[in-house]
Structure 1
């Protein structure tokens, strides 16, 4: 390598090598060895710098540049080396020619983000550059050339412009109230950015097109897709049309077609055409901007639809609202007032309509209210505006108004705040003291740093957030706010370096107060520069966002709870439906087996098999009752139950059943009120909880049952309605459960006991029973610490009752032969019911539906009794009973259903029998209803 050339063109860069290898004989200023130092010195700086630079030397400014500048030249590299400036950038030379002349005269120039249409890739391209021209003086004082230091800012300028369009569109769409204003907002916003989108066309489903949009869509209809995709696509505009060019001197040649997403629907709510900048041919990021734009329009359209629905609801609220609502015209005349006018002020509504508002106004408020009306008519909505209106008794009421304008009328609603203002006026002095107290408090820590990061100023917000007094922190390095880990990673220095290089540093992170407490902070550090662009310090703004992030976490937990509640409700609906159908199947099996038992010959083996079949069916019936309990659809015999007495009666039996390794201890106050419950269901629920406590403590251990009376207030974490409740807790010291097991424990069929050791319906039955009684059930558990199963039941207002003695199991004898109409849409149930009735000695007429039963009832006046199912298509059992009541009042009736609710008949008592029922239960019900009829 020629050492002399290496000295002129130093370094290992690509352009240094190109310059060393070039033949410079064609240059007007000769070989490099003969070049003046005024050129050589800046050339050395240029070739060893990583900033974009170029030098123009000589009368025609021959072009020299470094590696960093080569991408800006595009396809002009490397041919641009040594050529005159006006040839290299011929397409934009006219834009900078005056600045070149000023540099030749010895004056430096500066340009910030100057628009230049460069042809560096074979076509004109929109670019933005920040650059300075500095004269290169020779030793005789003349200007031999210029030095240009340049930064390309194309990406930043275009990104900021597009983001500004999105911001303006968001602001404009936030206030739209109908489709017309939505169209107007879109046209207004895009009129301010015709560089990225020279023209736009918007069509919403079901709307007629604006004339400008219609002409554009008509001109390109054949090119548009039949269905607009919400992901959008770019297509070529048809040739031969005169397309609007926006801010450019050439029309667009391509456009985006994209669908407007419809919230909550798979269809689109409309279509949007966005023509594209003719000087950004290869820009693919614009499609993402188009999707954001379409999404904003879709959200605004959903808001308009919701607002329209809200207006319809508002019309219904007009007549029932306790707040005063009125419509007033531009002259101040009441056009309409709501009925609350009379409730608040006492004047009849008809006396107000057609009169000026000043007729009812306090004299001191007329002038200010006139001015407020003027503001409201000029689209400046009033919020919390107050004045005084005269009541019929001469007193004045303070009303707080909110307004909106539509079609030249002001719509206002006012709340009577008279009593509240009286209280506030009584607290004026304390309010003033409070105002002075908080006047100097801010939510932001704003302070200045010197170039090395030392604190040079301190505001009240900074003192409040960090705890440092000004005299304690000024002069200290701001790194003291960072955590030890961040300081080890040199994060404070990195933040300042980023701010120094890029102008700004933004981040969220942990910071430390004076007392050592950590908090989440949102931090912005801006570099402060002097007039020459030199950094002289930094401005830091810090906001404490700890509470905001905690609120977000709480919101996520609330969403999870809502999801779990919805899931449990869905499972309950499904479980109730399955249990109902199982009841029908089990009833057919059980009744058939009972009738079969009477017809089988005396055979021990057959008797044992039949007994096993009945036992299995009965277990199935118990299972379905638990499923119905979870679904809160079981039939409950609700009464006032003494919990302590109930536990005392079952304690010995339960203790013998679970074994001595699990001693049961009860802790109840002397006077515990009775609960509103079904004694049998509560006994079963407590037994379930005790057995679960035993199973959770395989090595043995105490089981403690505690009771207490609690008063629940509104907004309690239990979710219960306000009132008095008895809290029953069954506590063990067993293995406990993790949070996921606790969350799923009340789901039906979920069990941790292993296959064949539990149905998974015990806790779900307890949960459903508690919910149906107006209480709740909760589990509190930690792994290895045991579990508390807590049952909340409402306190009963009635006297305590003891559990009824079990009924006698024998089937009541038939006193007389009856003609019975049996109605059920399930043929198996209907056939078995008829068989059991005939076996009891009755005559049976079968009907497969409510309408079929009505026909047969009308044709058979000898029918003594109606037995009907409840859940039947087209006509339920309750509806059938209502029809029969009209034909024959006080007809003996029995209604059968697996559900325990929805079986009330206004005006009379109906005997109910739960499914599945056996022949004995059926006979008892017949004897009861016929006995009552005879009596």
Structure 2
């Protein structure tokens, strides 16, 4: 098969897309790609068109697919591992991830952060770190058919951070080292924390003396390090030595040997074992050079300290710093002459006295602790205390000490002036820092004249995402979008602040993670006493949530307005339909009686039939209006949607013509829905006709359905539950937003005059809402329209409504005394006329109250025919009152509404408008039910 044949399965022009199109898939268990399921094809297309490093496995053996970004990770296994089982592709690490594969097969997604994997992608095991997720790929029947892995290799980041942390720890450990032994301890403790990069570390300093015969390890180290320079080199380790393996399961094969820089000849030699799972690691020599330089610096400090000790005696007499010798009890045994010069105490009044006698009372406790630490051989460095002067004042002294043979040797420098300046500066800075740092809702920071960041508060860190050490010194233009930078917006901003003193604006800015946010920005120029600009103060406030809240408020107002508008239209439409029903009731019943009385004249009969047909069309319009108002009488039942469409598809196709072929796309085992089958057929017919009218040149019409489960979400217009989403889609002209918004309003239509009533979509809208669903339109100009009906799934215990017979012969009923009740005089007169024409005696009442009085006064009333919607007392309330007076009285409740009235179960419902035949049938059913109840 050719590449072109498989472009749909393997899209794009990537290297892997071409390879996959040429691969012989028929030789694999997966077979011909054209027959693969969508559950494989869809993620495969995403994989091939993504720049993220991805692979997926499909089938029981998880046959391996990967994209171009994954090729470096696969290494020499590319491309022969394409289509191979996952266990074979990464056999060396499969056992480490097998449990995660099992979890994915069970439908659970997994996540790993910087997981160590020893991959053989270059022909040998290699230390790698990957962050990746396994996600299950579900087939159409819900089973897990495979897994998708999105991976990011972090090997270089993890190893670089680990090595930098080693350098940092070594630097911290070497700070304050005063002798060579401390340097050895610092090296040992530091490298003990990084046994992956350096399984062992050996430091030999010039002048170190061995106290015993060297071990085979030490002798081998000495041979390896002989003659290596300050640049260092990587040497092979002899295989006959049991080298320490660190954190690995095998010893290192190579080591770095590097000289410690020093004045003149080398100051020593450092040998570092290397990871057995890293090869061609050129950067490791740079790390070794930095480490050697740190050790060299520490050696220089130790040498300088020793030199200082040698010069101490000469400095004793002439030094302006205090020099003292204190015994283990804290008594001053010797002080330099500078004591008298600095503090004013005669030396003979100092020597032999306890040191604490000259310490400021507020520092007494800290001073005692410092002396105790010094006695324990702890060297005090930059320890500060206050010493009393002879005139009652005090001086700040910064002490450094060392202990030898139980005596404490210390020298102190007068830092009084510095401390006073620092205290004043610290107080000023603390006030400013507390003010600025305490603000977290605003990013407050300083810029130099060129726009580089020179300070950073907590609000700036929270809003923009940068730590101070990441951003200080960087140019502030990085906060702008690429478009603004290209347009020179940052430069204009600073120039405006420089020339006008202030810049104020709102715009889009970018956080460290690349996310954009809406910002309110103020930049003030900072000037010195001469008025010369020296920098800028910048304040940024994140107003994204404020603008989002404003937009959401406006959207909520629009939704509320539309909801109130539709509710008002619905109430108005329902009221109009009710009144119109009463008029049609009078017209139809009059015409029904008149038909029996007109002469047998063909013209008169035809005119009468036309009048009846016109009134019936009006009744159809009122039913659509009542459907929009959600007040029609529905026969709700469990409906098999595919079966319903099958039954009507031929008729509908013939009705609209072959230019608009109708196709369906339903999943297997689509659940039954809860709906009125007849009304749903009418709704679908309306939508199909609309789809035809939207594509005047012809085009396909697709009817599709899917099962949807909605969670309890305030943003969802439907309550939580199971629904079937029925969609009628065309490729017609489409609609703009305003037309979509108004499409379901009664009498709104985009068709020409006389071509539509504007009630079709209104009926669909009302029907869907009345059964607990929803109707929505999705459309754009030129892109066609999708009309969506959300239908509730029928429960197993749904009770099927019993359909009323369409036509039955008028039954033979004995003469009855019937009470007719209706607040509309025309309807009441015609109802009475229909009843009298059927041979019954009729008593009329124009209100429920009058009917109740009449019923109390006549105990021979056999039947009541009452309207539902009447002022002061409804028909259902009248039925309840009659039931208290004379239980079991047959009652017919006539109403054009489909609402669930609170009538007792024995009442017979009769829809308005009705004809004489329907009225006779209702009377027969009421009498038969009463007879059955009495029996």
* TM-score (norm: length of structure 2): 0.50
* TM-score (norm: length of structure 1): 0.50
| Larger-Rg structure | 2
